[in-house]
């Protein structure tokens, strides 16, 4: 066998075997995992809810009234990513989780508009549907962008009712300055990357077929493990992230990413007149600790908690610690 052929065989076997080995080792290290938590009262689905532009939104909740916590998830995820936090809070507050447009069970917007301003309008539609006397918003990643934009556009309308925000692995700064290889991306965006993302917003059967083929592979697992987690992630949570990410249709993935690259709300941060609790992992590759500190320093009333060696999913990697911090903060926001 020629050396070149042998080398190619070794490389091919490595590409196929390494992701599978990492996945297997993660599962061995993590053990059987933890059973998915359930809200004590059982979750319900609100029917027929649409955003201001007519986009149908999937919303699940537990509790009929009282102080309310609204959860907004991140890019390529769904409301399921907050199952631990909802179960933690549902015995004392009404908890509401929304699938962002084009994600989970929510519909693609007719105009394919994923700007963060539209996501803030989606959140407003959900808040108005429940009409709580007082509420807190919890946002992860893109959901944190949604929370900040909601306050920018509608904070005055809900003054006295919006009691605080919990921002998990997110930022108020330009995301191109916080993401891994952001310097390179800044040179590529908006041109030529922006037209490419717009093109990705078109439906393509071949591309969707590729997404489905990749969905359950070790490569998909490794991609999500690298992007969304830090050291020694819980394997079941990586599998959940993989399932959510590779179930999201490519047009939603592409157009939402463009909206993320276009996002910033830095000039509004000094005007955020409610308490904000921020969480970030020291190994976050998508919204870096440095960007979180810049956001924290711009907010009048904020606290930043950094989890060493955690990545972009601190609520999945440091669940018990984060839930305790978050619960105490929300109790204080509601005066309990």
The answer to whether residue 138 sits within a structural domain is: yes
Could you tell me which residue, 141 or 183, shows the higher pLDDT?
141
Tens of pLDDT along 42-81?
A: 789 998 999 999 999 999 999 988 999 999 999 999 999 9
Q: What is the mean pLDDT of residues 236-243?
A: 97
pLDDT for the residue 267? 96
Q: Which residues contact 306 (CB under 8 A, 6 or more apart)?
A: 280, 281, 282, 289, 292
pLDDT for the residue 9? 45
Cα 242 versus chain centre, distance: 13
Q: How many domains does the chain have?
A: 1
Query: Residue 13 in 3-state DSSP?
Result: helix
The answer to whether residue 294 sits within a structural domain is: yes
Helix axes 142-154, 116-130, angle to 10 degrees: 70
Could you tell me which residue, 216 or 336, shows the higher pLDDT?
216
User: Does 31 score more than 80 pLDDT?
Assistant: yes
* Residue 75 structural domain: 38-333
User: Does 248 score more than 70 pLDDT?
Assistant: yes
The answer to whether residue 12 sits within a structural domain is: no
The answer to whether residue 103 sits within a structural domain is: yes
pLDDT for the residue 37? 84
User: Does 174 score more than 70 pLDDT?
Assistant: yes
Domain CATH code at residue 251: 3.40.50.1820
**What's the Cα-to-Cα distance from 209 to each of 120, 206, 213, 336, rounded to whole Å?**
31, 5, 6, 50
* pTM for this predicted structure: 0.94
The answer to whether residue 81 sits within a structural domain is: yes
The answer to whether residue 263 sits within a structural domain is: yes
The answer to whether residue 183 sits within a structural domain is: yes
pLDDT for the residue 1? 54
The answer to whether residue 17 sits within a structural domain is: no
d(CA 176, CA 286): 9
User: Does 13 score more than 80 pLDDT?
Assistant: no
């Amino acid at each position: 066998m020629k050396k070149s052929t042998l080398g190619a065989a070794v490389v091919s076997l490595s590409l196929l075997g390494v992701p599978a080995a990492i996945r297997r080792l993660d599962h061995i290290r993590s053990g059987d995992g933890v059973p998915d938590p359930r809200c004590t009262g059982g979750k319900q689905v609100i029917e027929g809810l649409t955003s201001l532009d007519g986009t149908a939104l999937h919303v699940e909740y537990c509790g009929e009234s009282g102080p309310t916590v609204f959860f907004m998830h991140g890019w390529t995820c769904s409301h399921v990513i907050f199952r631990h936090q909802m179960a933690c809070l549902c015995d004392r507050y009404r908890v509401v989780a929304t699938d962002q447009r084009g994600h989970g069970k929510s519909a693609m917007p007719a105009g394919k508009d994923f700007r963060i301003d539209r996501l803030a309008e989606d959140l407003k539609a959900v808040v108005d549907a429940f009409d709580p006397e007082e509420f807190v918003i919890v946002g992860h990643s893109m959901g944190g962008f949604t929370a900040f934009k909601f306050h920018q556009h509608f904070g005055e309308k809900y003054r006295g009712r919006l009691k605080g925000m919990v921002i998990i692995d997110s930022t108020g700064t330009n995301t191109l300055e916080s993401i891994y290889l952001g310097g390179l991306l800044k040179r590529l965006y908006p041109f030529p990357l922006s037209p490419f993302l717009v093109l990705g917003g078109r439906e393509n059967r071949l591309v969707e077929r590729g997404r489905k083929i990749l969905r359950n592979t070790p490569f998909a697992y490794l991609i999500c493990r690298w992007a969304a987690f830090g050291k020694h992630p819980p394997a079941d949570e990586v599998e959940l992230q993989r399932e959510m990410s590779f179930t999201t249709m490519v047009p939603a993935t592409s157009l939402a990413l463009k909206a993320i690259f276009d996002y910033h709300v830095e000039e509004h941060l000094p005007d955020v007149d409610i308490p904000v609790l921020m969480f970030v992992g020291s190994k976050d590759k998508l919204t870096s600790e440095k960007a979180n500190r810049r956001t924290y320093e711009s907010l009048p009333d904020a606290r930043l908690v950094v989890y060493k060696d955690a990545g972009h999913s601190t609520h999945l990697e440091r669940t018990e610690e984060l839930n305790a911090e978050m619960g105490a903060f929300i109790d204080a926001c509601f005066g309990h």
